[in-house]
Amino acid sequence: MGLIFLVGNGASIKNADKKMAKQTVRDIEIAGAKVLVRVDFNVPLAAGEVADDTRLRGALPTLQYLREAGAALILMSHLGRPKGKKVAEMSLQPVAKRLGELLGSQVVLAPDCIGEEVEEMARKLSPGQILLLENLRFYPEEEANDAEFARRLAGLGEVYANDAFGAAHRAHASTEGIVHHVPVAVSGLLMEREICYLDRALKEPQRPFVALLGGAKVSGKIEVIEYLLDKVDALLIGGGMSYTFFKAMGLEIGASLLEEDCLEVARQVLDRVEGKGGELLLPVDCVVARGPLAEAQTQVVSRKAIVAGWEGVDIGPRTRRLFAERIGRARTVVWNGPLGVFEIESFAAGTREVGEALAAATERGTTISIIGGGDTAAALSQADLSASMTHISTGGGASLECLAGSVLPGVAAIAEKGG
């Protein structure tokens, strides 16, 4: 019998293999230590200010925990794509300011992320103080995972904690290389949650396990579809990607989104499901519009009745009921991709209604709901359903790679418990 992880609403995840658990900041001696924390502060900026501080808030539990445990903090992050050069607009200065406000104490921005001056600043830190290193990607060595650069970063602190799930799918100096130069690499509290849900809950799901996929394109999610097909009890597909499947089934799709070069993959997926008797649910009806605008004329049609000049923009009411019913019987649901063009209110109902069914199942305590993908998270927030889900991932690309079964290098680099 392994550990039981209690999650929201009384549902639990059995951890059958204790060895898989990663060490966290709770497992190590911290008092008096200088802790290097890789955070994901890659936030949107507008007019020199942080436009959305969700990612900063996401790191607060780890930062507060470490400070209360008596650590001095050296934070490091990337921001944007400065392509290995110092770009003033991509300085972390606005982040230092906003983080200071959120923590209610000063966050000093270092003038650089490596070098003697920074080393001196790090040396002088006392417990509770916070130093934020300047943008890691001002150096091409960061993305190149340069060993010397990683060694210099590592030299700034004594303990390394990674709380940047959103950057864990890349083997960069601050996420992977650095662990070869520190005595121990542990996860932060946000990373711990992400690993719990996106890694372990998906590898050993409580069944029935249902995946819900949507979004615009098949092309970005081929690996996800293929991996999940073998894993899940049912795969539900909606959104723009369903029309390529309809086309592959020989249906007319009018002006709906079509990816010609994915038709073959879609055909293979359909064949595979047929052969194996696995459960793949595609929409049975859709909302079609005379164009992608809010004021466009719309109608609900069976998937067999889409005609030229009309574009599929949402799943229809029968499909919503079908998906809601299937989700209601699941014990684990993972969802990536909105089921319609949710940005337009009149095309958002399908995503919202299925979201409501998942929220209700989660609140009943019978279902663990795991959400990946930036647009999916935005759609649920727009529908006011975020608080009802078990876990909403903070990492777009990283969560998608987990759904494709990949081992993230930044996660692999974290020490295992008992290891």
Q: Does 337 bind ligand ADP (CB under 6 A)?
A: yes
Picking from 74, 166, 178, 159, the residue whose alpha carbon sits closest to that of residue 122 is 74
Q: Which does 239 bind (CB under 5 to 8 A by kind): ligand ADP, Mg ion, none?
A: ligand ADP
Chain centroid to Cα 98, Å, comes to 23
Q: Map residues 309-328 to x or -, x wherever contact with ligand ADP holds by CB under 6 A.
A: ---xx---------------
Q: How far is the CB of 375 from Mg ion (least distance, A)?
A: 4
Distance of alpha carbon 232 from alpha carbon 219, whole angstroms: 20
Sheet hosting strand 298-302, strand order edge to edge: 298-302, 285-289, 311-315
Residue among 84, 155, 328, 397 flagged as catalytic: 397
Q: Is 397 among the catalytic positions?
A: yes
What size, in residues, is the chain?
A: 419
Which residue lies nearer to ligand ADP by CB, 147 or 216? 216
Whose CB is nearest to Mg ion?
Answer: 375
Which residue lies nearer to ligand ADP by CB, 313 or 408? 313
Distance of alpha carbon 100 from alpha carbon 348, whole angstroms: 37
Q: How far is the CB of 237 from Mg ion (least distance, A)?
A: 16
Which residue lies nearer to Mg ion by CB, 155 or 396? 396
Q: Does 188 bind ligand ADP (CB under 6 A)?
A: no
Q: How far is the CB of 221 from ligand ADP (least distance, A)?
A: 7
* Residue 375 DSSP one-character state: H
Distance of alpha carbon 295 from alpha carbon 102, whole angstroms: 41
Q: Is 55 among the catalytic positions?
A: yes
Whether the Cβ atoms of residue 185 and residue 411 lie closer than 8 Å to each other: no
Question: With CB under 5 A as the contact rule, which of the stretches 231-239, 267-275, 370-378, 411-419 interacts with Mg ion?
Answer: 370-378
Beta-strand pair 45-46/49-50:
antiparallel
CA angle, corner 354, sides to 352 and 359, nearest 5?
90
Question: With CB under 6 A as the contact rule, which of the stretches 22-30, 202-210, 273-281, 332-340 interacts with ligand ADP?
Answer: 332-340
Q: How far is the CB of 377 from ligand ADP (least distance, A)?
A: 7
Q: Does 166 bind ligand ADP (CB under 6 A)?
A: no
Question: With CB under 5 A as the contact rule, which of the stretches 3-11, 254-262, 271-279, 374-382 interacts with Mg ion?
Answer: 374-382
Q: Does 40 bind Mg ion (CB under 5 A)?
A: no
Collapsed DSSP state (helix, strand, coil) of residue 218? coil
Of the CA atoms within 13 Å of residue 299, those in its CB half-sphere come to 9
- Kindly tell me which residue out of 9, 187, 319, 376 binds ligand ADP, with binding defined by CB under 6 A: 376
- Give the helix/strand (H/E) hosting 13: strand 12-15
Q: Does 375 bind Mg ion (CB under 5 A)?
A: yes
Which residue lies nearer to ligand ADP by CB, 71 or 322? 322
**Number of CB atoms found within 10 A of residue 18's CB:** 12
Cβ contacts of 343 within 8 Å, gap of 6 or more: none
- Kindly tell me which residue out of 338, 355, 395, 410 binds ligand ADP, with binding defined by CB under 6 A: 338
Q: Does 228 bind ligand ADP (CB under 6 A)?
A: no
**Number of CB atoms found within 10 A of residue 325's CB:** 10
Distance of alpha carbon 58 from alpha carbon 51, whole angstroms: 15
Q: How far is the CB of 375 from ligand ADP (least distance, A)?
A: 3
Q: Which does 313 bind (CB under 5 to 8 A by kind): Mg ion, ligand ADP, none?
A: ligand ADP
Q: Does 374 bind ligand ADP (CB under 6 A)?
A: yes
- Kindly tell me which residue out of 42, 62, 336, 362 binds ligand ADP, with binding defined by CB under 6 A: 336
Burial class, 63, CB count within 10 angstroms (exposed 0-12 / middle 13-18 / buried 19+): buried
Residue among 55, 152, 170, 303 flagged as catalytic: 55
Distance of alpha carbon 195 from alpha carbon 191, whole angstroms: 6
- Kindly tell me which residue out of 20, 102, 171, 216 binds ligand ADP, with binding defined by CB under 6 A: 216
Q: Per the structure block, which two tokens stand in for 3?
A: 């550990």
Whether the Cβ atoms of residue 40 and residue 166 lie closer than 8 Å to each other: yes
**Number of CB atoms found within 10 A of residue 75's CB:** 24
Question: With CB under 5 A as the contact rule, which of the stretches 163-171, 174-182, 369-377, 401-409 interacts with Mg ion?
Answer: 369-377
- Give the helix/strand (H/E) hosting 237: strand 234-237
Q: Which does 157 bind (CB under 5 to 8 A by kind): Mg ion, ligand ADP, none?
A: none
- Give the helix/strand (H/E) hosting 153: helix 147-154
Point out the residues that are catalytic. Answer: 55, 217, 374, 397
- Applying CB under 5 A, the residues found at the interface with Mg ion are 374-375
Residues of this chain that bind ligand ADP (CB under 6 A)? 214-216, 239-240, 257, 312-313, 336-338, 340-341, 343, 373-376, 396
